[in-house]
Amino acid sequence: MPKRSEIKGRPRVAHQRSKVSSAAIEREEIRSVIAEWALCRDTGRWEKLRSLYAPGATMQTTWFDGSAEEFVDRSAKGFGRTASAQHLVGASVIDLGEARAIAETRIVLLLRTAVGPTQVDVTCHGRFFDFLEKQRAKWCICKRLPIYEKDRIDPVNPLERVNIDNERLWRFAEGYRHVAYVQSLAGADVTKGLIEPGSVEEQNLYRDGAKWLAREKGENHDGDTRPH
């Protein structure tokens, strides 16, 4: 027969297992939101994309910095006009609270566009840093910031040459230089002050994420529930 101490310990073990199982489900739901974002953005499913954001959410990219609502509207307006885009989503590392989470996700951005008469592919590797919140039993993105790490440009036809204006190219940071270059040629205003890998700003972002989660736990009573 099992000892009395073993029997007493069983509810605690069951509770711990339940918490682990619940956390795994929450993380999977968050990963699903991130994956859906990429698919909806790339295939023009605008209302579904809009539903993945929390009210008042904000969004930053190389070409945009503002409200998620405006981001969706402008994405829809420009869909397929000057470039086709794909966002490949990799692994996510998720810090989970009760109703808040921070997710950092590996991504690859693929653009096909033209530089002069030459069709080109631009490939950019980076990360999405997401502040998420569970609202009405559904995880939503409250704020997304990108960290672009490296990129390159290649002609679709390897026998062709891409004529690059180096003076324009070198205006932009290394991590997203070629993405910004082709977007600026198309008339976009490239976002200033994007976070670069290994920078002080990146470390500040990590601290902001930790503070945002801590406020949910009552560790910081500043009264501000918005992600900074």
95 against 224, higher pLDDT: 95
Q: Is 226 helix (H, G, I), strand (E, B) or coil?
A: coil
Answer whether residue 222 shows pLDDT above 50. Answer: no
Partner residues linked to 146 by β-bridges:
128
Q: Where are the domains of the chain?
A: 4-216
Dump pLDDT digits (tens) for 160-206: 999 999 999 999 999 999 999 999 999 999 999 999 999 999 999 99
The answer to whether domain 4-216 has CATH 3.10.450.50 is: yes
Nearest to 111 by CA among 96, 121, 97, 101: 121
Answer whether residue 220 shows pLDDT above 50. Answer: no
State mean pLDDT over 32-58: 97
Q: Are 119 and 155 in contact (CB under 8 A)?
A: yes
Order of strands, sheet of 100-115, starting from the edge strand that comes earlier in the sequence = 65-67, 53-60, 138-155, 118-135, 100-115, 84-96
- Distance between CA 29 and CA 143 in Å, rounded? 17
**The model's pTM:** 0.87
